[in-house]
C-alpha cells in the first residue's frame, strides 16, 4: 500500500485510523452481519451510530441543548438557499463578503431577500479579510464565511451581532480550533474538508431559528422537518454520518478541538515560516488574515507553479495546485493531515527551491 499525502481542498484526506476502522467494520458491523451501508436507518444499530455521532460532536464543541445538530444532504451549497428560506422575516440580511463562497451565498440569498453587503475585499481580489468592526448590523441575520478555502484567508474572531443571529459557513475550518457556539445562530459545514465524506452537511442551529420558514418552503428545505425527525425525515446519508462519527470519536481520542488547534497552528507555521524566509515562494496575505487550513502560495512564475505541483505529485504529495479562480499553489492542511505530511511538504519545498531558483 502506498498512501499519498493529499493536500486537496476537498474532498480531503481522512485520518488513517478512521479509514482502518471503517475497513475493519465494513463487512460485519458490530455483529450485525452487514455493513453500515446496507443497514436500515431505522434499526437499533444505526440509531446508535447517528446518536453517538451527534453526542460526540456536541462534546467536541460543547454544544448546549439550545442548539439542534442536523445531518443534512446537499452539501454546504444547499445551505446557501436554506438559510434565507428559513431565516427570512423582515426580508433583509447583512453579508460579509470575503470571496468566492460568500459570493455564491449572496447570489442565492438575493432570490429571497434584500442583501446588504456590509463589507468586502473584492477590490483587492480578496487577498485580505474585510473589516467588520464598527458596522451597525441590521436585518434578519448576518452571514459570513469563516475560512476562505480558495483565497487562503480565515477570520480568527467573529463580529458581535447582538440579537441578530450570526450565520457562518465553516465548511473548511469547522473543528479546527476552539469557538463558542453560543456566538452563532447557525454554523454549517460541508463534511468533505474537516469531517468526512462529501454530500453530508452538518448544521448546528439555535432552536429558536427553527420553524419560521414560509408555508411554501419545500419540506426537505425546512429545518423543522429535519429537527423534528432527528435528521431522519427521509433516508439520511447513512454511511457519511457513520464516517463523520468515526472522525468525531478519533478527534476526542486525540484530545479534542483544543489539541487540534495547537497542532494546526504548528503545521501552518511550518509552511508560512518557510514561505516568509524564502525569496522564491510568496504569500502576500496579511499575517493576521492567513488561513491555518488552506495555505496559498506562489513560486516566481506560473510555469514553475505547474512544475511544482507535478513534481510534488511524483513524490506522493498530491493536489497542490491552486483553485482555478486564483491559480498558484495551495496546501490544504486540515485536521486529518498529520504533521509528518506537512514536514514532507516543507522538505519538498526546500528541495524544489534549490533545484529551480
Ligand atoms: C467547499 C466549500 C463549500 C461547498 O461545499 P459543497 O459541499 O460542495 O456544497 C462551501 N463553502 C466553503 C467555505 C467551502 O470551502
Look at ligand 1, atom 7, and give the residue with the nearest C-alpha: 75
CA 69, CA 78: separation in Å to the nearest integer? 16
List C-alpha distances in Å: 281 to 240, 341, 348, 356: 37, 19, 13, 11
The DSSP code for 38 is G
Nine-digit cell string for 323: 483553485
Kind of pairing between the strands at 166-169 and 142-145: parallel
Q: What pLDDT shows up at residue 325? A: 86
- Does pTM surpass 0.95? yes
CB of 75 within 6 A of ligand 1: the answer is yes
Which three cell numbers, joined as nine digits, stand for 169? Answer: 459557513
The residue among 127, 102, 100 whose CA lies nearest residue 117 is: 102
| Residue burial 285-321, b: 16+ Cβ < 10 Å; e: rest | beeebbbbbbbbbbbeeeebbeebbebbeeeebbbbb
Given a cut of 70, the residues of the chain with pLDDT beneath it are none
Q: Is 348 in the pocket of ligand 1 (CB under 6 A)?
A: no
Decide: 76 in ligand 1 pocket, CB within 6 A: yes
pLDDT tens digits, one per residue of 203-235: 999 999 999 999 999 999 999 999 999 999 999
Query: Cβ(14) to ligand 1 under 6 A?
Result: no
Catalytic residue among 101, 140, 267, 298: 101
Distance CA 22, CA 18 (A): 6
- Decide if 193 is catalytic: yes
* E strand spans, 129-250: 142-145, 147-148, 153-154, 166-169, 186-190, 201-206
* Among the listed residues 156, 189, 196, the one whose alpha carbon sits nearest the alpha carbon of residue 170: 189
Q: How far is CA 354 from CA 279, 335, 348, 350, in A?
A: 11, 30, 10, 6
**pLDDT value at residue 99:** 97
Active-site position among 88, 97, 140, 193: 193
- How far is 125 from 146, CA to CA, in rounded Å? 17
In this prediction, residue 118 carries a pLDDT of 98
Q: What is the pLDDT of residues 37-57, one digit of tens each?
A: 999 999 999 999 999 999 999
Q: Which helix (H) or strand (E) holds 270?
A: helix 256-276
Q: Which are the contacts of 20, defined by CB distance < 8 A and separation ≥ 6?
A: none
Element (H, E) at 207: none
* Cα–Cα distance for residue pair 146/268, rounded to 1 Å: 17
Residue-level pLDDT at 8: 98
- 191 Cα to the center of ligand 1, angstroms: 9
What's the pLDDT at 286?
Answer: 98
Residue 183: active-site member: no
Ligand 1 centre to CA of 274 (Å) is 28
Closest CA to 49 of 87, 21, 78: 21
Strands 114-120 and 92-97: parallel
Amino acid at each position: 500500500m502506498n498512501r499519498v499525502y493529499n493536500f486537496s481542498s476537498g474532498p480531503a484526506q481522512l485520518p488513517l485510523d478512521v479509514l482502518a476502522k471503517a475497513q475493519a467494520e465494513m463487512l460485519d458491523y458490530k455483529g450485525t452481519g452487514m455493513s453500515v451501508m446496507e443497514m436500515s436507518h431505522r434499526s437499533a444499530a444505526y440509531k446508535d451510530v447517528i446518536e453517538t455521532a451527534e453526542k460526540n460532536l456536541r462534546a467536541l464543541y460543547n454544544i448546549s441543548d439550545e442548539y439542534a445538530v442536523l445531518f443534512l444532504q446537499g452539501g454546504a451549497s444547499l445551505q446557501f438557499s436554506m438559510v434565507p428560506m428559513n431565516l427570512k422575516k423582515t426580508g433583509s440580511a447583512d453579508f460579509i463578503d470575503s470571496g468566492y463562497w460568500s459570493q455564491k451565498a449572496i447570489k442565492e440569498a438575493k432570490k429571497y431577500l434584500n442583501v446588504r453587503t456590509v463589507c468586502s475585499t473584492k477590490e483587492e481580489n480578496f487577498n485580505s479579510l474585510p473589516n467588520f468592526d464598527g458596522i451597525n448590523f441590521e436585518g434578519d441575520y448576518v452571514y459570513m464565511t469563516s475560512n476562505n478555502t480558495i483565497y487562503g484567508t480565515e477570520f480568527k474572531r467573529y463580529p458581535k451581532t447582538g440579537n441578530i443571529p450570526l450565520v457562518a459557513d465553516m465548511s473548511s475550518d469547522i473543528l479546527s480550533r476552539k469557538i463558542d457556539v453560543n456566538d452563532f445562530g447557525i454554523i454549517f459545514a460541508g463534511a468533505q474538508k474537516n469531517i468526512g465524506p462529501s454530500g453530508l452537511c452538518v448544521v448546528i442551529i439555535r432552536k429558536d431559528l427553527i420553524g419560521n420558514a414560509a408555508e411554501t418552503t419545500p419540506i426537505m428545505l425546512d429545518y423543522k422537518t429535519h429537527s423534528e425527525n432527528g435528521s431522519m425525515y427521509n433516508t439520511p446519508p447513512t454511511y457519511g454520518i457513520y464516517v463523520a462519527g468515526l472522525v468525531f470519536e478519533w478527534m476526542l481520542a486525540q484530545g479534542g478541538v483544543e489539541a487540534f488547534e495547537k497542532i494546526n497552528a504548528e503545521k501552518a507555521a511550518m509552511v508560512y515560516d518557510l514561505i516568509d524566509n524564502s525569496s522564491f515562494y510568496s504569500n502576500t496575505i496579511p499575517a493576521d488574515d492567513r488561513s491555518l487550513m488552506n495555505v496559498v502560495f506562489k513560486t516566481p512564475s506560473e510555469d514553475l507553479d505547474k512544475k511544482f505541483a507535478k513534481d510534488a505529485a511524483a513524490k506522493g504529495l498530491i493536489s497542490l495546485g491552486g483553485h482555478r479562480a486564483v491559480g498558484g499553489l495551495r496546501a490544504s492542511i486540515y485536521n486529518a493531515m498529520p504533521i509528518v505530511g506537512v514536514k514532507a511538504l516543507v522538505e519538498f519545498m526546500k528541495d524544489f527551491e534549490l533545484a529551480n531558483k
